Structures are given as structure tokens and as C-alpha cells.
Structure 1
């Protein structure tokens, strides 16, 4: 059991952490404040997930999530959080037993049934909602924290103190921006009018749409080398990126079991043939032996088929290169002794002179591209020497990319493709049709507005 002195020291340390966090919040820049609120509060009150919601007057991102640099708008988790905040803030003002501006514990019971059913999938069981308000101003935002343990009274008191400091910092950033705009409108009307005309002229300048996305140099029509049956890889006869010719051995499977089964099948065939020969001699004088000949003949045929099958399996245990090219696979030590199933890809053989560009464009950034659109590829090795090409394929549906983001797959041909080795990664820029600059800049806000207005 802790002594009173230890408990007092612990409380003093928490109070010191609160004061330090309040100081950092007041000193934080506008773009850093939201990140600090959802991540650094864990140094005072432990939690697993945090979400900061701000009203539209902030001018910042509506939702800030802990553990990520920026939230993926339009994702299922983001949409669910927007609906949860809408329900909690609508019900929060009249929550029974909750003081105005004080943090309150919330649960799935406070939400409509569809949102409550999805709660265990997206958020921890224990949650607390902290209104961010200062003096007589209403809440300008809410901080939702979640963890597995129940919230204590001391946690709520500390969060209430921090909520006031956070609200004050957010309000200071907002008020620091408004006077400057009002003063310019009142004192500098003519320069503002000139600037507005210039901006209008700039806004109607036609520009080319473009998207930046991760890309990789991949082969054209690669020949996959797959497991011919369920078995264990015995050895790889080539090294990664080694040049091979058609018919060259690539992979050898463990043949111990196959060889044993083949020997047993051969013995069974020899015995069936001997039994058939003996019965054939007896059939000249014995009707019963003559009746067994047809059955023994079918058994010989069956054993011959088994021997032929085992011979074919032994031949297939040695996989050869289907075409000339380069063997592309991971480290050979990861494959030796690894069990594989029928059809599992072990490597691909591709021509290093026939390459193309594979581009993964996030669904939130994609625009309309036509085949033949210009593509510029900046490799990670030589970003100062871009390669140029044209778009040849655009997928119609999204897939999950390697980074876990829903993306569209694009492929492009490249000029001087032989100089770009297979597997080279970088960034690709795809150019689309020309559009008015203001429409190009507002394409995402217009998309979000259309979702909100359901049009």
C-alpha cells in the first residue's frame, strides 16, 4: 500500500504535468495545437484513442485523430465519428446529471441504435466527452477520449482543467486572425479591391489537373512460377534477379515422399503383373482362375496409372523457367523448407527490357484521366532525372494498396524503359485535362459539400 507521502508526490507530479501541458498549449502554433491536444494529453490522463472535433468556425480540419498525422476524410471511421459527435453534442446539452461545460462519461447507450452497434468496432468501451468552452462562450469543440478502464473523479477534474486551457488556446488563435481581416477591409479597401480583381483573373486561368501518387516499375506480361502441387520447397537453383533461359531449372521440391510413393507403386505394379501371369497359366485348366483374369488385368492397369502419375509428379518437382528473362523473388533463404500449396506463386520470370509503371492513386485524390495522358516518373534513386510516358490502363474499381489505403490502379508505358530496373520505386505525376484554376482548387471542398447536401 502506498504511503501518504508517495500519493502526495504522485498528485504533485500530475498537477505539474497539467501546468506544463497548459503552457505548451498556449505556446503552440495553430497547426500544431490540435495534434498536441489529442496526443500529449495522454501524459496527464492515460487513454487509448482521442478525437478532437471543432465547429466550422475554426477554419481547421473538423476532426483530429490521435496517432495519425491527418485523418482520411471519407473513410468509414471518419464518417462514423462525425455522426457520433453530431449525436453526442445534440444530446449533451440536456444530459441528466451533467454540469454545463463539465466532462461527462458517455457510452453506446447515449447514441442511436445503428451508431451504438458499431461502437465496439471503432472505439474503446469507456469514453468521456470533454466540452471545450471558455467563460460564457459556448463549446467551440469537443474532445472524446476512450480507454478500457473506467474514468475516475480525479481524471474528470484534470480533464476539466485542461479543457478550459485548450478552449482558451483555440479561441486565441481564432481571434488573432479576425482583427487583421476586419482592419484590412476597413482601412485598405482599394488595395483589397485590386487584389480581388487580380485573384479573380488568376482564378480563371486554365491549368492542367494533376495527381501525385506512389509508383513502381513492374514487368509487362510476367510469367509466374507457381507450385505444381502441395509440397515443401527443397532448394532454389537461381538467385534473385538472376538472368535465366527458358527450360533452366529454377525450383526443386523435396522429393523424399514422392520418391518413396513411386517405389511403392512400382513394387505394387510388379506384384500385380506376376499375379496376372500366374493366373493366366492357371486359367488354361481352372475356370475359377480364368474368371479372375479380368479383375487382375484392371488392377495392373490401375497400378500402371499410379506409377505414371508418380513419375509425372517427380518430373513436376523440378520447375523450369517458362521463358527467357530475370527471376524476380524474395530472399531464397525464406523459401527453402517452406511448405506451399497448389498454385502459390514462388517467383516470376520477366524480361527486364519490357517494363511499365504501376501507379496507386488514392481514391480521395483521383480525377478523370484518359488513356494516353502524360505521365512523369521521379524515381527515388534519381529524382533529378524524370522519365516520361503515357497512361495505358486505369482500373474501374478500388483495391487496398500496400499502405492500406483504398486506391485505383493505373499503368503507364515509359520512354527509355530499359534504363529503369524492375522494382524501382518513386513518385508519378499524372496530367489530366485543363480546367479553370478555381475549380481545380475547390474540387475537394465541392465534393465534401455535395456529400453534406446529398446532391
Structure 2
């Protein structure tokens, strides 16, 4: 045990009081004031200052003893900041010049923790003008007394909160350094409560510090960049009928009535809808009247042609008129029979609300509804142009229905439209048709999101594909 270090009960009480004041500080300014002004009761000094370290900036003086607030433009503050930066860069060399350490014997005699390394750069150490560059040492006598003490503030995680410097005429003893080391731990812990959260940039710089950790991080990053991943995109999709029977309007007219309901199963011969027959009924009645008239004229001409050669010649004209009226009558009757449309096959009626069709004018060949087989369905996805990843037939995709968040259905792509078309939502997209694989089949009309699986690409390409495409559109390269 060394006889050079003596910590009495009064000093321990002051140490405990200063530690309590540091923990109770409500702000960083209050804590800085306590550090540079109230520590004099434990470690006598004439001047003190707290230098705030910064990961991005050179650092600045945060507080000076005897002043409520320091002026960064003052010559003394600028000189003091340069001194602290020089000491921070060469802490290890200055610690060797100090000639003091915290040996295990001294720590045991005071109850303080032992220093594992006598020349550890994070320990307080005394310094003088000889330890500074010549341009800073030349102004030492103008600002400071002969002796000074450098106290680094570093927490257990290795984060630096700057340092505290003390200056006085008498040299600093080993007991002063031991007490300052204990206070430095308390101050660093208290300052960590006011320190901002580490940003991603700060964490990245800490991770990429020279050493084994940086080599490991760079190796993991390199592997992650070249790691192959499947190129996938998301696209809205719906379950549609495969090979449905299209029910079209047989005539130009107005829909009078829809006999079936959406998603209603129908059998062959079931009435589906009917067109307004008023116009066709009038045309049929007129054609029937013309046919009766032509038939009577032909009958009279045929009777007169027996005795009169002139009437014999008119009989051929009357016969032609009778045949023309018969053709018109048959055509009108056929059209009148088609105003009521029946189901040609069994299936489920797929169309919108019947009220949307009642009273609506339609043209011949216009699609009214579909007759679909519920067991024969396929998946139709709409791949936006911006998300196109060169999808080809044979690729796979997965449907995630909106109505069943825990269900998923796999499908194989059959066709991809060669050109993009506007979707009902107004998005320009490619139409992708796919057949479900496996035994499970979703219900007809189910909508959801499909994940289309493309080729395998490096992770870097997967992450930068969209930014690069946007950059090419803007830059034109």
C-alpha cells in the first residue's frame, strides 16, 4: 500500500455530495455548471472548463468556471478549445508525460477500483505547457497558471463526452487524480442521460472503426450485396372464370327484364333476360298483315288468270310479292322469338347489378353476362408497367386473398399480354393469366394481392432496381 495517497472521510463525503448533485441535475447546463464550479471543494483549482466532444464537429467549450455562459468568439475560449482538441488527439502521450498512475495499491487504500493499465489513455493525468504544440504553449502563461489536469469523460460503452480541465499553481497530486477519476465516471454517466440518441450514421461510423469488427462488418456487407434473392413484385389480382360462355344481346334494343341474379346457378334453358318486344311486335303484326294482303291478291289473280291472259301475266308479279312478304314475316317472327334469351349451358351467371341493365339500350353482340363453371377458375393479375420484371409464361405466383389473410394459393403463369392496357382503376398494367396448381381452389370472384416470382438477382440489384430506373428516366442514360 502506498503512503502517497490519503483519502479522508471528509473527502469521501464531498465526493458523495458532488456525485449526488450530478445525478440530480435537471439539464446539461446545470450539470456543466456543477462540474466546473462546485468541484473546487474537493479538488482545489483556480480555473476549470468542460470541453464537449462531438462525433461530427471538432468539439467546443461547453462551460467555463466563473462564467454563466461562454462566448465562442472570445480569444480565451478559442485557445482553450484548441488545447482540448490537441490533448484529445494525444491523450496517450500526455498520460505518459504525467508520471502519475492509479496503481492497485493506491486503489486498495482508498477503496477505489484499481486501474487495469497504469498508462490507460482514459485516466486523468496532469500536463503542462511542454505537452502542447509550440503555438499553443506560447500563450500558456497568458491564460493559465503553471499546472493543469486533464480528466477524460468516457462511459462504460466507450462513448466520449469530452473532458474537464483544471488549472492551478500547485501540481496535482495522485489523490487529486484518483478523486477526479471517480468524478469523471459519475459525470460521464450523468451526461449520457442528456446525450441525443445515436443516429444511423454514428452507429455506422462506430461499426466501421479500424479493426477486426470493421473487417467482419465489411465481409458481411459484401456477402449481403451479392447474396442471390428472388426478384418478386406485388400486383392486384382476382379469381376469374376460365373459358366462360359469353351471353350477348341478340338484337338491338332495350333490356326489359333480367330474370337471374348475379352468381346464381342456372341450368340449360333457364331464362336469363328479355328485350323490349314492343317494336318487334308491331313490325310482326305489320308483316303478317302484308302477308295476308299479298296472299289474297295472289289468290284473286290466279282465279282471273284462267280466262284472261293479262291476269296470267300479273300472277307472276303477285307471286313474287307474296314470297317477299312471307320472308319478311318469317324474319320478324324469328327476331321476336329471340327477345327472350335462354341459357345454352349450365353455370353461374356472372354480371353486375340487374338494376344497372334494366332499361339500358344495347346493341347486337354486346356482352350482357357470363356463364361460368365455378370449378374451372383461373387467376388474372394486373402487373403495373412500373413493376414489370420481365415476367414470362411458366413462372409462378402466389395469391393472398383479402378475405382470407391466412390462406395462400399458388399458380403458374400461362399468358402475359404483349402490351399494357388501362385497368378499371386507371393504372396502365399488363394482364397476366395463371392456372392454379394443387388441389385447393379459391372461390370465383375473390380478390387479393399476388406476388409474382421472377428470376434470381443479387440483393443489391433488388434494392436499387427502382431507384436506378427512376434515375434513368430523369437523366436519360
State the TM bucket, normalised to the shorter chain: 0.5 to 0.7
Give 1:432-447 correspondences, 5 Å limit: 432-447=454-469
Question: Does residue 263 of structure 2 align to residue 241 of structure 1?
Answer: yes
1:112-162: CA deviation from partner (whole Å, max 9, x where unpaired) = xxxxxxxxxxxxxxxxxxxxxxxxxxxxxxxxxxxxxxxxxxxxxxxxxxx
Partner of 1:252: 274
Q: Given the superposition, is the C-alpha separation of residues 358 and 188 from structure 1 closer, same or farther in structure 2, using an over 3 Å criterion?
A: closer
Offset, 1:344: 1.5
1:416 CA displacement: 5.5
- Describe the shift of the 1:443–1:340 C-alpha distance in structure 2 as closer, same or farther (beyond 3 A): same
Cα offset, 1:429, TM superposition: 0.6
Aligned position for 2:334: 312
Q: Deviations over 1:49-107 (max 9, x none)?
A: xxxxxxxxxxxxxxxxxxxxxxxxxxxxxxxxxxxxxxxxxxxxxxxxxxxxxxxxxxx
Return the match for 1:189 from 205, 209, 213. Answer: 209
Structure 2-normalised TM-score?
0.55
Q: Measure, in 2, the Cα distance between the counterparts of 1:290 and 1:337.
A: 52
CA-CA distance at 1:263 after TM superposition:
1.4
Are the aligned partners of 1:184 and 1:192 in contact in 2 as well (CA < 8 Å)?
no
SS at match of 2:456: strand
Work out whether 1:263 is the aligned partner of 2:280.
no
- 2:435 corresponding residue in structure 1: 413
Are 2:234 and 1:212 equivalent residues in the alignment? yes
2:330 corresponds to 1:339 = no
Seen in structure 2, the aligned counterparts of structure 1 residues 437 and 395 have a Cα distance that, compared at 3 Å, is same
Query: Counterparts of 1:202 and 1:433 in 2: how far apart (Å)?
Result: 18
Deviation of 1:450 after TM superposition, in Å, equals 3.6
Counterpart Cα distance in 1 of 2:208 and 2:227: 26
User: Is the partner of 1:442 in helix, strand or coil?
Assistant: helix
| Preserved CA contact (<8 Å) 2:399 2:410 | yes
Q: Counterpart of 1:362?
A: 384
Which of 352, 367, 388 is equivalent to 2:374? 352
TM-score, structure 1 normalization: 0.57
For 1:298, the equivalent position in structure 2 comes to 320
Cα separation, 2, equivalents of 1:216 and 1:374: 16
Distance change in 2, residues 1:319/1:418 (3 Å): farther
Task: Report how far residue 279 of structure 1 moved.
Answer: 1.0
SS in 2 for 1:290: helix
Quick check: 1:363–1:398 contact (8 Å CA) kept in 2? yes
Contact 1:234 1:253 in 2 (8 A): yes
Partners of 2:339 and 2:207 in 1: how far apart?
85
How far does residue 399 in structure 1 lie from its aligned partner after superposition? 0.3
Shift of 1:195: 3.1
Verify the 8 A CA contact 1:185 1:192 in the aligned structure 2. Answer: no
Distance 1:231 1:309 in 2: 16
Q: What SS does the corresponding residue of 2:282 show, helix, strand or coil?
A: helix
Deviations 1:327-364 (A, max 9, x none): 11112222222221111111110100000000001000
Instruction: Give the Å deviation of 1:285.
Output: 2.7
> Does structure 2 conserve the Cα–Cα contact (< 8 Å) formed by 1:353 and 1:418?
no
Shift of 1:197: 3.1
Alpha-carbon shift at residue 187 of structure 1 (Å): 9.6
The answer to which of 399-408 and 415-424 deviates more is 415-424
Q: Please point out which of 399, 404, 415 is paired with 1:382.
A: 404
Structure 2: where are the runs of 5+ without partners?
Answer: 1-195
- Per the alignment, do residues 180 and 275 of structure 1 end up closer, same or farther by CA in structure 2, a change over 3 Å counting? closer
Contact 1:355 1:417 in 2 (8 A): no
Q: 2:294 aligns with which of 252, 257, 272?
A: 272
- Counting only pairs closer than 5 Å after superposition, residues 111-122 of structure 1 correspond to structure 2 as none
Once residues 187 and 282 of structure 1 are traced to their aligned partners in structure 2, the CA distance between those partners, rounded to angstroms, is 119
Query: How many residue pairs align between the two structures?
Result: 280
Distance between the aligned counterparts of 1:418 and 1:223, measured in 2?
A: 24
Name the SS of the counterpart of 1:396 in structure 2: coil
Q: Give SS of 1:189's match.
A: coil
Aligned match for 1:424, one of 435, 446, 458 = 446
Q: Structure 1: which 5+ residue stretches go unaligned?
A: 1-175
Query: CA shift at 1:443, angstroms?
Result: 1.7
Does the Cα contact within 8 Å between 1:352 and 1:418 map onto a contact in 2?
A: no
1:259–1:379 CA distance, 2 compared to 1 (3 A)? same
In our comparison, the structure showing a higher alpha carbon Rg is 2
**Bigger CA drift: 193-202 or 293-302?**
193-202
Taking the aligned partners of 1:237 and 1:324, their CA distance within structure 2 comes to 15
Query: Cα 1:355–1:183, aligned 2, differ >3 Å: closer, same or farther?
Result: closer
| Offset, 1:182 | 8.1
**Shift in Å, 1:265:** 0.7
CA distance in 2, matches of 1:340, 1:287: 53
Contact kept? 1:356, 1:417, Cα under 8 Å? no
| Alpha-carbon distance between aligned partners in 2 of 1:307 and 1:194, rounded to the nearest angstrom | 93
